[in-house]
Amino acid sequence: MTLAVVCRAILGWAAIIAVIATALFVAAGSSYLQYRTPVYVAAGFAGVVALCLLLVQPLLATGMLPGLPLRAGRRVHRWTGVALVLAVAMHVAGLGIASPPDMLDALTFTAPTLFSVFGVVAMWALVAAALLAGVRKRRSLRPQAWRLAHCTAAAVVVVGSVAHAMLIEGTMGSVSKTLLCALVIGSSALTAARLRPWAGAWRAWPGQARK
Amino acid sequence: MSQVPMVRRRFVAAGAAALLAAGPGLTSPARVQGLAPTKSMRGGANNYLPGAPVVDRIGGGGFTMSGTVRRAGDGTPLKGIRIQIWAHTVEGRESEVRSHGATLTNADGIFQLDMPQIVPIFGQPHGHLAYDSGGFRTVFLRPVMASARDTSLSAHFVLEPA
């Protein structure tokens, strides 16, 4: 390992940790927290943590995080995926306890707020991506088709979550939130460019193969 | 040589004349049909506790909720109408009894109630208002503040007989 590679690894991790730590630190200092119940505070933070996980999740899948090459990255990717599902479950359950009618409106797409729609769509896309991850080893889908399906669901999660977060007036600081969201979009776009999940998904389709 | 079917100046003049003739009819249908009743807003009834008492002020005050109540059709201001108000404030959550209060409209159909500062909850700084007294059809409103730093919010009711 050359010095340049080590320096790049340190800088890369430092940047990611700085962005996530700043987002969490600013949210923890919000004046709104004092007017909320512990359950609501925990639910809100679960949402912030989920957004932070979305930053590293695509990078882990492509082995782009310094020190975590593809194979190791994918192993961590599975666990951060589980953490992401748990964080979103805590977010939804906690907000449901804090204000049942508001959560019911959101889940039934009858809320007055547009961000609820984005959030709930992202949640179901996350469920789809997680279920796909669960059945991957069964090989019920060809690898290329599985990858396209998982990446499509992940893209909906990313776009939905970023729109959800940006439209919300909550504990997150507007600058740190915008920076985090921009980087989440960036890391996902970088991953899509690297993985090219659309490549081969149609080419190897049984009907196409005969041609 | 081709002939222009209509001179531009005449075209503009004709258009302007047509707009002038039809304009008032297009812009104010309310004058013909009467003032339309206010519809309940989505999520307006969330965390509603019926029967909030008429109070001078909710909690310590510092934030002003105001508005008007008129009758559908002719727009007559309605006096003595009970409007219930609640919100997530610096003193309590939406679902807490102490966050709820009611007030009555004056002779001009205007109501105003002092309440604690509203803080954002569920992603938006918003208040809740209800007309639910029986004489007119029930209406629930959920106005959103332009800024979380605002110290007042207003909402207007146009009621139709139940």
Q: State how many domains chain A has.
A: 1
Q: What per-residue confidence (pLDDT) applies to B1?
A: 46
Distance CA A10, CA B30 (A): 67
Cβ–Cβ below 8 Å for B122 and A101: no
Residue B32: band (very low, low, confident or very high) from pLDDT cuts 50, 70, 90: very low
Tell me if A56 is assigned to some domain.
yes
- Residue A170 near chain B (CB below 8 Å): yes
Task: List, in sequence order, every residue forming a beta bridge with B33; answer none if it has no partner.
Answer: none
Residues 6+ apart with CB under 8 A from B44: A112, B128, B129, B130, B139, B140, B141, B142
Element (H, E) at B27: helix B8-27
Residue B153 one-letter amino acid: L
For residue B151, give the CATH number of its domain: 2.60.130.10
- Residue A168 near chain B (CB below 8 Å): yes
Tell me if B92 is assigned to some domain.
yes
Tell me if B128 is assigned to some domain.
yes
Residue identified by tokens 């998904």 is: A201
Which of B88, B95, B125 is opposite residue A169, by nearest beta carbon? B125
Tell me if A210 is assigned to some domain.
no
Q: What per-residue confidence (pLDDT) applies to A3?
A: 87
Cβ–Cβ below 8 Å for B120 and A170: yes
Per DSSP bridges, beta strands B139-141 and B152-154 are: unpaired
Tell me if A209 is assigned to some domain.
no
Q: What per-residue confidence (pLDDT) applies to B120?
A: 96
Per DSSP bridges, beta strands B110-115 and B63-71 are: antiparallel
Q: What is the mean pLDDT of chain A?
A: 93
The two structure tokens encoding residue A62: 């492509």
The two structure tokens encoding residue B134: 């029986």
Q: Is the dihedral of CA A123, A125, A126, A130 positive or negative?
A: positive
Count of Cβ atoms closer than 10 Å to residue B79 Cβ? 13
- Residue A169 near chain B (CB below 8 Å): yes
Distance CA A58, CA A182 (A): 14
Distance CA B156, CA A58 (A): 48
Give the ipTM of the model, two decimals please. Answer: 0.86
Q: What per-residue confidence (pLDDT) applies to A138?
A: 86
Q: Chain B: which residues have CB within 8 Å of chain A?
A: 41-47, 88-90, 93-95, 119-125, 142, 148
Of A211 and A179, the one with more pLDDT: A179
Tell me which residues of chain A, numbers 33 to 92, contact chain B at a CB-CB cutoff of 8 Å. 35-37
Q: What per-residue confidence (pLDDT) applies to B20?
A: 58
Distance CA A166, CA A211 (A): 47
Tell me if B155 is assigned to some domain.
yes
Of B16 and B85, the one with more pLDDT: B85
Asked if residue A208 has pLDDT above 60, the reply is no
Q: What per-residue confidence (pLDDT) applies to A81?
A: 98
Distance CA A188, CA A185 (A): 5
Tell me if A207 is assigned to some domain.
no
**How does DSSP classify residue B117?**
P
Per-residue burial over A166-205, b = 16 or more CB atoms within 10 Å of its CB, e = otherwise: ebbbbbbbeebbeebbebbeebbeebbeebebeeebeeee
Distance CA A130, CA A204 (A): 24
Please give the backbone phi and psi of residue A180, each rounded to the nearest 5 degrees, phi first.
-60, -45
Cβ–Cβ below 8 Å for A105 and B46: yes
Tell me if B134 is assigned to some domain.
yes
Q: What is the mean pLDDT of chain B?
A: 89
Q: What per-residue confidence (pLDDT) applies to A206?
A: 58
Distance CA A42, CA A21 (A): 17
Q: Which of B93, B122, B145 to mutate to test the interface with A (most CBs of A within 10 A)?
A: B122
Provide the percentage of residues in chain A whose pLDDT is more than 70: 95
Q: What per-residue confidence (pLDDT) applies to B106?
A: 97
Residue B15: band (very low, low, confident or very high) from pLDDT cuts 50, 70, 90: low
Q: Which residue range is the domain that position A95 belongs to?
A: 13-202
Residue A67: band (very low, low, confident or very high) from pLDDT cuts 50, 70, 90: confident
Judging contacts by C-beta atoms under 8 Å, the chain A residues touching residue B119 are 32, 35
Q: What per-residue confidence (pLDDT) applies to B18?
A: 64
Please compute the mean of the pLDDT values over residues B108-119 and round it to a whole number: 98
Tell me if A44 is assigned to some domain.
yes
Tell me if B132 is assigned to some domain.
yes
Per DSSP bridges, beta strands B100-104 and B82-87 are: antiparallel
- Residue A105 near chain B (CB below 8 Å): yes
Distance CA A187, CA A166 (A): 17
Asked if residue A73 has pLDDT above 50, the reply is yes
Provide the percentage of residues in chain A whose pLDDT is more than 90: 82
Tell me if B21 is assigned to some domain.
no
Distance CA A176, CA A56 (A): 16
Asked if residue B48 has pLDDT above 70, the reply is yes
Q: Which residue range is the domain that position B153 belongs to?
A: 63-159
Q: What per-residue confidence (pLDDT) applies to A2?
A: 83
Asked if residue A148 has pLDDT above 80, the reply is yes
Alpha helix segments (H runs only) across chain A? 3-28, 38-61, 70-98, 100-107, 114-135, 143-167, 174-195, 206-209
Tell me if A48 is assigned to some domain.
yes
Q: What per-residue confidence (pLDDT) applies to B11?
A: 63
In which region does residue B156 sit, left (phi positive, over 0), alpha (psi from -120 to 50) or beta (all else)? beta
